[in-house]
A and B are shown apart, each in its own frame.
Chain A
Amino acid sequence: MRVTQIVMGMPVTIDVLIEAAVAEDLLRLGFDYFHHVDAVFSTYKSDSEISRLNRGEIKAEDCSNEVREVLAKCAEMKSYCDGYFDIVHNGQIDPSGLVKGWAIWNAAEILNQAGVQNYLIEAGGDMQIKGRNSQGELWRVGIRHPIEHSRLAKRLQLTNCAVATSGTYERGQHIYNPKSGQAISGLLSLSAVGPSIYEVDVLTTAAFAMGRAGLSWLKQQGLEAFMITQELETFATAGWKALEIPHQNEKSSV
């Protein structure tokens, strides 16, 4: 059973391949969790903990366990990514770059604990997938074309992993380097595949800010990745090709 709701300002899709009566309960749990995360972390909700933190109404040490955990992870990731992942913008914190993957991962854990063997959880273009799709095959994941927005740049078949994409066309995406404040060098889109959406999401966000160097940096992190530059050149890591569905006749060059 597949349901999409708008949460955290983006479409969130959960697809569980399980009998309908059980699926409804699990979907409700999953979406309730995303709504909860939105209520706590949204910078668009004036009464969220993050908004109150940004207004100085509460201190970080007085925040809930969840918020303190996320803030600690953001600091850890900023250090790990050498400053290329940074949640501070204009003196305010916006942890959405980490929260999205973290929330998907936690929702996936809810389904894992319930014993679901086949599922897809996607939020704003990032996802964690497991098992098989409704046809009993590997999940088919497209990478959105940055120019022809209703078509795909790549099609993958894979499972038991996470896929994330950062792009200049994406809402809220940095198009400048958080370290230097200068324009990011020439990427339109950067996608990565790895075991856990929590890491893949943050690392892809950080890598995008590195420009062309981001692709090999992701490879060093153990991920397979694919980038599209502003000149519409594409580069992929050595293991990315094995994930692709063979091209069909209807492809065309841009």
Chain B
Amino acid sequence: MKKTVTILLATLGIISLLAVIRYKPDSPNTATVPDPSSSDSSTLSPNQTATNSTGNTNSSPSASYKDGSFSGDTAETEYGPVQVTAVISGGKISGVKFLQLPSDRGHSIEVSNFSAPQLRQEALQAQSANVDIVSGATQTTYGFQRSLQSALDQARA
């Protein structure tokens, strides 16, 4: 793919002055915004604070749910309302479903086929966040999370 050089032309003049750069590894300075990967508790919802800690073996934060399907509150998103149903089995979350999808015309959901041989499957696990950076959603209060949390609130034993 062709990369843009428009902005580079403007900045290369400055960069050319930094021709000789000698550096040594530097410890990270404090970020201006709290880094979500640096602490387990920074972005927790109130229901999760008590159960997330590093070094906690065999922790099952979701083990105190009642079995069944629980629908959360409807949350507004840019694409319309979203309502999440949490499916609980054996006291743990076994799946989620979406209701009130935007542009829902009442058709059944298409499920595309996919070739499995080269794909590996394993159970979804949860690990503590001691990494340099996290890939994934950065807004925990967005529609899906809000609706899911209200579903889980109803499922709590």
Give A residues with C-beta under 8 Å from B. 1-6, 10-11, 13, 15, 17-20, 22-23, 25, 29, 33, 36, 65-66, 69, 73, 89, 102, 105-106, 109-110, 113-116, 118, 120, 122, 124-127, 129, 132-134, 136, 139-155, 163-165, 167-172, 174-177, 180-186, 188-189, 191, 196, 198-199, 210-213, 215-216, 219, 228, 230-238, 240-241, 247-254
* B 1-27 to A, binary, CB cutoff 8 A, 1 in contact else 0: 111101110011011001001111111
Residue of A nearest to B60 (CB): A252
Task: Verify A134–B28 contact, CB threshold 8 A.
Answer: yes
A-B contact pairs, 8 of them (CB 8 A): A5-B33, A11-B138, A140-B133, A150-B129, A165-B135, A169-B136, A211-B112, A237-B119
Residue of A nearest to B40 (CB): A150
Known: A11-B33, A230-B97, A233-B121. A252 touches B136 (CB 8 A): no
Known: A149-B140, A213-B112. A19 touches B133 (CB 8 A): no
> In the bound complex, what is the Cα–Cα distance between A170 and B59 (angstroms)?
26
Q: Which of B21, B29, B43, B62 contacts A2 (CB 8 A)?
A: B29
Please count how many residues in chain B sit with their CB below 8 Å of the partner chain's CB atoms: 95
> In the bound complex, what is the Cα–Cα distance between A181 and B116 (angstroms)?
26
Task: Verify B28–A15 contact, CB threshold 8 A.
Answer: yes
Residue of B nearest to A69 (CB): B4
Q: Which of A144, A233, A240 contacts B124 (CB 8 A)?
A: A233
> In the bound complex, what is the Cα–Cα distance between A142 and B3 (angstroms)?
28
* B 134-157 to A, binary, CB cutoff 8 A, 1 in contact else 0: 111111101011001000000000
Task: Verify A216–B118 contact, CB threshold 8 A.
Answer: yes
Task: Verify B112–A151 contact, CB threshold 8 A.
Answer: no
Q: Which of B8, B43, B92, B136 contacts A113 (CB 8 A)?
A: B8
Determine whether B50 belongs to the interface, using a CB cutoff of 8 Å to chain A.
no
Q: Give min CB distance, A87 to chain B, whole Å.
A: 14
Q: Give min CB distance, A27 to chain B, whole Å.
A: 10
Interfacial chain A residues near B44, Cβ < 8 Å: 149-150
Known: A164-B135, A235-B120. A151 touches B40 (CB 8 A): yes
Interfacial chain A residues near B110, Cβ < 8 Å: 177, 180, 182, 185, 211
Interfacial chain A residues near B55, Cβ < 8 Å: 249-250
Known: A110-B15, A250-B55. A136 touches B129 (CB 8 A): no
